[in-house]
Structures are given as structure tokens and as C-alpha cells.
A and B are shown apart, each in its own frame.
Chain A
């Protein structure tokens, strides 16, 4: 079987981060890090950038404008119903706008994320290992012909990996 990836498995966040630092110091490139929750140091160490927040913000603006437009049209333009002498175009729209902005933002951001990452229902996961959504952290390193697998294994072991496998 053609093994192309090395998984360094960790059980502690601190060890994962220090291991990433020492691997980087050796000049070996890390192809992926998998953790059950976001670890800020990993973003900083791997210099990961994402434009998802910008997309989310734009979806939020879109949700705000469309919901306000809808409420304004229904309660002011199309069917203006006066009840209790209250003004029709009021800040009471905020509740519905607030909820709809969250709804639209979350839904659209999720879809965008799935499209970019090619994930979603039915997609094959890029990394499979028991416990990665539970209490295990993975460092994934691609094996190239130049890779010194033994030295890499030793490095991972020295920095506190609980297990090293190849896939």
C-alpha cells in the first residue's frame, strides 16, 4: 500500500503547539493540523488566513437589508395596519432582523465553507483517525521522496506524540 502521509497524534494542546514549532524549525512543511476545536496558536504558527469572516459579514449585511425590506414592504407599503396608534416604521423590526441576520449568515457561511473545502454530507473526509473529533490532535505531514521518515518519527516522538502512523 502506498503510504503518503505521516500522522503525529497528540493528546495535549501544549505538546501539539510545541511540536509544530520544532517541526517548523527543522524546515519541514506541515500539510494539515486536525483538532477537535480551534487552537489559536496553530493559526499563528502555520500562518493560516481565511476570508470566511468577510464573507460572513457581507451575508449579514445582505440578511439585514433583505429582512428590513421585507418588513418595510409588508407592514408599511403593502398592508399598513395601524394598531394602538403605534408608528408603522419602528425599531421593533430589530428583533426579526436580528434573528434573520443570524439565520442568513450562518446558513450562507456554512454553504460557502462546504463549497470551498469540498466538505458536507456524503463527502469523503480527507483525514481519518479515531478520536480526532474527541480528544486527539493530529499533525499531518506529506511524505515526499526527500522526507527522512525516521528522523521525522523521532522528532514527533521527542516532542510528545502518543502515536505515529502512516496512511
Chain B
């Protein structure tokens, strides 16, 4: 059995090249229109942060349910969640761009009517710059602490063995999912929903949380698929693929459920403050994006992974996940852009910034992955994962 993932110089240079593209794209964006630069930073940082958060949630869930089947892959969610400190750096950086992103900071600069200004004043005990920064620091403190602890326990387990570290990880995971549910919900309110400060939806945070879990799991599956074709994880059976595609399939349905819940409640209640969100997104070229989002994130995985036959085919599963990951971008694009830049525009700047963040994300991921053995040898449930049969 291979011991370690090798971060070859070739892979390293690819990630460097991607990062250079990203830096150039961001520089162009800032020289043309600073707002566009800040928006792209926020959008792409949240994209990869939510993957990291979703992966860490996946890891915590495997500990809590004491799942055996996934234990051989646990280094992957662990390494994916190591992006969180980098995301923290970018979010701190974004504090300097808050004025161009969030209209609630200086509402007089925007076209708010009297009623809307009154609403913003009503929200000001929560929505003010100081408290925003305090919360931001608090969220990242919790996430970084918890993911680093889980990582440390896992590495100690490799050295010492026994079940003590597993038991400890389980307790930390239990604490983590509760704190994560609260902090990530508030974080998605803070960073994305307040881009349109007079609009509100309480299910918004749930949708973003599920979206993070969904796309985090999808990335884990994609990474395992790619590594399998490169010669790692050769013990994988059909039952593993079945379980992986089940994850993607079920989460796509849950995602659609929350996506639709938000729409239906707003449609049904028909409150002007709420409906503006969908009116904006169902007019002009945004309408295409609205339905493409649903097709990529739900319809494609649902229809393709429905037959058992497809669910076990690696390349079909990988193709579906690529669609889902594009879907995650359209989803965030729809949440961020209408409230900030307003017009529907995907140019080289957007693509370049995405490539840059992807390079950074992959660099952090592969570097972390190469530092510890790929298979957690002393995991108490490892044998179950190596001989997984499905039932």
C-alpha cells in the first residue's frame, strides 16, 4: 500500500501558474473597477471557503456517526479544510473593501428610499462595522481552532495508535457541528445576504450551509476519483463508489429542497421587501442564470445518478461533479453580483480570479496532503473501509 501522496514539482508549478493568472486578473480588475475586484475576491473566497467548511463538516460527521467506510479517505477532508486560515486572511483583507461592497455602511451614498433607510437604522445594532469585524474574527477563531485540533488528533493517532484520539475527535466533532451550524449561518448572513441589506430570508443560511456540505462532499469525491486513476487508493470497491455517489445524489436533492423552500416561502408570502430579490433574478439575462443554477446543481446529478448502473461508473460520477462545481459558482454568482455590480457579466477577470483561487486552494490542499501518510494507519475503523462491501 502506498504511504504518501507525492506533491511533484510539476503539480507545484501548475498551481503556481494558476496563482499568477489569478494575481494578474485581480490586478486588472482593481485597475478597471475596484468594486469588481472586491466582489470577485469575496465571491471566490467564499466559494473555496464553503468547500473547506463542507469538507470539515463531512469529516466531523464521519467521526460522530463512527462511519467505517470513509475512514481511509479522511486525510482528504482534513487537508481540504486547511484552506480556512487562508480564507481568514482574505476576509480580513476584504474589510478594507467593505465600503465598496456593503451599502449598509454608508446608506446615503445609495438610492434607498425613506422606508429602506428606516429599516437599515433598525438593523444597525447588528449591522455595524465594529460588530461585523468582531463576528468575523470570532467565526474564524472557532473554525480554525476546531479544524486544527481535529487535524492534530488525527496525526497523533498515526503516531501513537489506540482509540483515545478517535474518542477525543468524536467529542470535538460534536462541539464543532453545533458551533459550525451557528457561526456559518451567521457568516453567510453577514458576508452575502447583507450585500442587499433590505432583503432578508431566514432559510438563506440553511441553504448556504447545505450548499457548502454538498459541494465540499462533491470535491472530496472528485479528489478520490482523480487520485484513484493516478494509482492511489487501489483498494476501492464498487461499494465505495456507490456510497460516494449516494452522497452527491442525496445532497443534490437536499440542496434543491432548500433552494425551493426559499423561493416558495417568498412567493407565497408576497412581501415587497422579499420579492425584490427574485424579481431582480428573474429578469433579463439573470433569468438564464437562475434556471441554469437549478439544472446544474440538481437536475444533472439527480437524473444521471438515479440509475444504479451510472452511479458506479467513475467517469460519469466525475463528469457530474464537474457540472455541480460549475453550479456552485453560478449559485454564488447569483447571490453576490445582482446586489453589488448589478449587471450580468462574466469576463476574463472572473475566470482568471477563479483560476487563481483554485490554484491557491489546490496548493494548500496538496501540500497538507503530502505531509502525512495518505492512509490513517491507526484509525480504529480502517479495516472496515479497506474491505467495504456495501451493507
Contacts and interface: CB of A to CB of B under 8 A. Distances in A.
B391 interface: yes
Interface string B236-279: 00000000000000000000000010011001101000000000
Interface string A38-57: 00110000000000010001
A84 B270 contact: yes
A90 B390 CA distance: 41
How many A residues are at the interface, by size bracket? 10 to 19
Given A40-B390, A40-B391, A92 B306 contact: no
Contact of A86 (B263, B270, B307): B270
B260 A94 contact: yes
Nearest to A44: B390
A84 B272 CA distance: 10
A82 to B, nearest CB: 12
A85 B306 CA distance: 38
Contacts of A40: 390-391
B306 A57 contact: yes
Given A53-B307, A57-B306, A92 B268 contact: yes
A91 B390 CA distance: 37
Contacts of B391: 40-41
A115 interface: no
Given A40-B390, A40-B391, A92 B307 contact: no
A123 interface: no
Contact of B263 (A41, A53, A57, A91): A91
B267 A91 contact: yes
Nearest to A95: B264
16 contacts: A40-B391, A41-B391, A53-B307, A57-B306, A84-B270, A85-B270, A86-B267, A86-B270, A90-B267, A91-B263, A91-B264, A91-B267, A92-B267, A92-B268, A94-B260, A95-B264
